[in-house]
Structure 1
């Protein structure tokens, strides 16, 4: 297979990071605080561990089939009909996830930036940008993520260090929290924010060195996990666990309290919001692109561009179904947990069957 303009390991890492860091970063410290009080960083660490295990399983699986994506080799392992059912579940989940993320984005925008703007308009603008962007190839898809990644990572670290003067380490004690009854529920909810990186299974046929997909995944999840830990530590140490529980967007409030010394920059929240919008786009870009590409493979179509427009009405309707943010949250949590089970369980099943059948990882030499 000739890989013209291939996806490098660094670009694959960029896709994983910029896909994971998305709309949920504003509110996930609240979820962690509700789960274990001051033990929120520990909840986040457990969530990173769950996501790490799931994505590494996926990376090990796709590395065995470097010329195909999961929709293609899944049919050979478990049968075309069963594989098609799983593919349809994945398509439905990621399309629904895109709609719910769009709604969450719209709720934040009308509350923080544009209170007089109809939420339908805000959602439609970003959805149209996403749909148009998804008409590109996988190679260009990786370029887009690589382009936006530096700004996403940079603002995360700048915000953390700029907030150091507001930190009170007493707020992080005890480390395990006072009432960690909901520890694992919180960890599962936060781990669900990582599942959009499932899109990495589309990259393997285009990689220059497919054997590096596991390393790219480890680096991607590792860097994303560090950023998540920095954000939750910043929020809890600044406001305390109890105050964080009552904040709608703790990460945004932490950014508002951060300043750069010597008058270089009085407030960071403006820059943070801009970068957050970019990170939301890259996440939606990945989830929608996966739905489109998976639909193309599942239904045996030649071009994915028509499907990009075809899925738009469904995603838009899903984004408008919840009547308010509370219904959005109560509806989204079980859907995301189901998605976490699906995106970990299905690759694990395929990997198990592949191992029993004696499939071995194909080396670069055999693919040349």
Structure 2
């Protein structure tokens, strides 16, 4: 089968790309949403939620073993037939277009709500989509190299913020652990599961790995590292803010404002802003690329690049229309989005994989 993307990345680059793809938005919004349910046990919720991530990486890898040169858009037709497969693939493309628009809006709400109050939302969204479009136009190798440069710097800055907060932490906020049993932390893990389910995106990258046999290993390592950073983030915001964690919208931003060393080293909100913008750039670019590549495969084009600009315009429009305010967006992410996202990134893949395995088994039986 003809490969639209001629670039290649390593499995380590894929893992590095996926880290900000999950973490960029989850670290800002989800600690507050999780705290409403899990309270002082919110640090446990990412551990339970990561199980979904491990399952999805395994599902994506099983698809890759069955269809090594095809992405989701292509093997849907091989599993379900041309007509039904095309419909399922189209529904995934519409889903990813909507989700990418929402991610763009999350970025826009943070930037305009905390820093650029008077800048029109369309300008904030358009500028980020335009920068992402350049990376997407460059292809998978360019995105992989961008992530390799950005992610280590962002991770170091993020961990530095937490080190500087140590003196303000209060361990008493963590107790009593499991006061009401496992139920609150399990309930708090439902929303983070939506973010872990985004690991299904690796089904678009596995065919383009230089070391495909290591795809499963590095996918699992990526899930574990994301879970670890989420646990650290939740513990830090809990020990710093206590019960206020569930009230504030961006706990990490509030945490950065606490930092004050010798009345000189303070006001580190700009560092959080830099972390957010860099992480959001990688996340939007990865989703944007998957969407454009998938559309080109669905339309059976020889090149995805002519679709980059018109898709970018659509993403800005969807981002502008997806929610009227941050409150509406948060309400969607903490309620309806759970069923919506998990249906496409966990439910449907399980059904598709079962059908594929049954078809494969029946072919083997006939061969005998």
Per the normalisation by structure 1, the TM-score is 0.89
Paired position in structure 2 for 1:37: 39
1:18-40 CA distance string (max 9 Å, x none)? 21121231121101100111111
Question: How far apart, CA to CA, are the structure 2 residues paired with 1:161 and 1:117?
Answer: 33
Q: Contact between 2:38 and 2:187, CA under 8 Å: does it hold in 1?
A: no
Asked whether 1:274 is paired with 2:274, we answer yes
Asked whether 1:297 is paired with 2:301, we answer no
Question: How far apart, CA to CA, are the structure 1 residues paired with 2:262 and 2:324?
Answer: 46
Q: Contact between 1:52 and 1:221, CA under 8 Å: does it hold in 2?
A: yes
Size of the aligned set, in residue pairs, is 358
Structure 1 residues 253 and 67, CA gap change in structure 2 (3 angstroms): same
Paired position in structure 1 for 2:213: 211
Residue 312 of structure 1 deviates from its aligned partner by: 2.7
Asked whether 1:88 is paired with 2:98, we answer no
Structure 1 residues 90 and 184, CA gap change in structure 2 (3 angstroms): farther
Q: Contact between 1:56 and 1:214, CA under 8 Å: does it hold in 2?
A: yes
Q: 1:60 aligns with which of 34, 59, 62?
A: 62
Asked whether 1:246 is paired with 2:247, we answer yes
Question: How far apart, CA to CA, are the structure 2 residues paired with 1:181 and 1:115?
Answer: 39
Q: Contact between 1:32 and 1:44, CA under 8 Å: does it hold in 2?
A: no
Paired position in structure 1 for 2:326: 325
Paired position in structure 1 for 2:129: 127
Asked whether 1:257 is paired with 2:258, we answer yes
Q: 1:26 aligns with which of 25, 28, 31?
A: 28
Per the normalisation by structure 2, the TM-score is 0.89
Structure 1 residues 5 and 70, CA gap change in structure 2 (3 angstroms): closer
Question: How far apart, CA to CA, are the structure 2 residues paired with 1:208 and 1:181?
Answer: 43
Residue 182 of structure 1 deviates from its aligned partner by: 5.7
- Could you tell me which runs of 5 or more consecutive residues in structure 2 were left unpaired when the two chains were aligned: 362-368
Q: 1:99 aligns with which of 94, 98, 101?
A: 101
3-state SS of 1:24 partner: helix
Paired position in structure 1 for 2:365: none
Question: How far apart, CA to CA, are the structure 1 residues paired with 2:88 and 2:6?
Answer: 31
Question: How far apart, CA to CA, are the structure 2 residues paired with 1:351 and 1:271?
Answer: 43
1:163-186 CA distance string (max 9 Å, x none)? 222221211122225597665453
Question: How far apart, CA to CA, are the structure 1 residues paired with 2:77 and 2:70?
Answer: 11
Paired position in structure 2 for 1:50: 52
- Could you tell me which runs of 5 or more consecutive residues in structure 1 were left unpaired when the two chains were aligned: 360-368
Question: How far apart, CA to CA, are the structure 2 residues paired with 1:7 and 1:324?
Answer: 38
Paired position in structure 2 for 1:8: 10
- Aligned residue runs from structure 1 range 148-187, under 5 A: 148-176=150-178, 178=180, 183-187=185-189
Residue 74 of structure 1 deviates from its aligned partner by: 2.4
Question: How far apart, CA to CA, are the structure 2 residues paired with 1:237 and 1:215?
Answer: 33
1:192-219 CA distance string (max 9 Å, x none)? 1233333222222221221111111101
Question: How far apart, CA to CA, are the structure 2 residues paired with 1:271 and 1:254?
Answer: 12
Question: How far apart, CA to CA, are the structure 2 residues paired with 1:177 and 1:320?
Answer: 42
Larger deviation: 101-110 or 61-70? Answer: 61-70
Question: How far apart, CA to CA, are the structure 2 residues paired with 1:140 and 1:54?
Answer: 25
1:328-358 CA distance string (max 9 Å, x none)? 2233442353122211123222322333234
3-state SS of 2:47 partner: helix
Question: How far apart, CA to CA, are the structure 2 residues paired with 1:25 and 1:272?
Answer: 11
Q: Contact between 1:37 and 1:179, CA under 8 Å: does it hold in 2?
A: no
Question: How far apart, CA to CA, are the structure 1 residues paired with 2:10 and 2:130?
Answer: 29
Q: Contact between 1:91 and 1:291, CA under 8 Å: does it hold in 2?
A: yes
Q: Contact between 2:173 and 2:238, CA under 8 Å: does it hold in 1?
A: yes
Larger deviation: 192-201 or 171-180? Answer: 171-180
Question: How far apart, CA to CA, are the structure 2 residues paired with 1:64 and 1:150?
Answer: 34
Question: How far apart, CA to CA, are the structure 2 residues paired with 1:155 and 1:212?
Answer: 29
Asked whether 1:109 is paired with 2:103, we answer no
Paired position in structure 2 for 1:195: 197
Question: How far apart, CA to CA, are the structure 2 residues paired with 1:157 and 1:358?
Answer: 46
Residue 250 of structure 1 deviates from its aligned partner by: 0.3
Residue 131 of structure 1 deviates from its aligned partner by: 2.4
Question: How far apart, CA to CA, are the structure 2 residues paired with 1:296 and 1:97?
Answer: 18
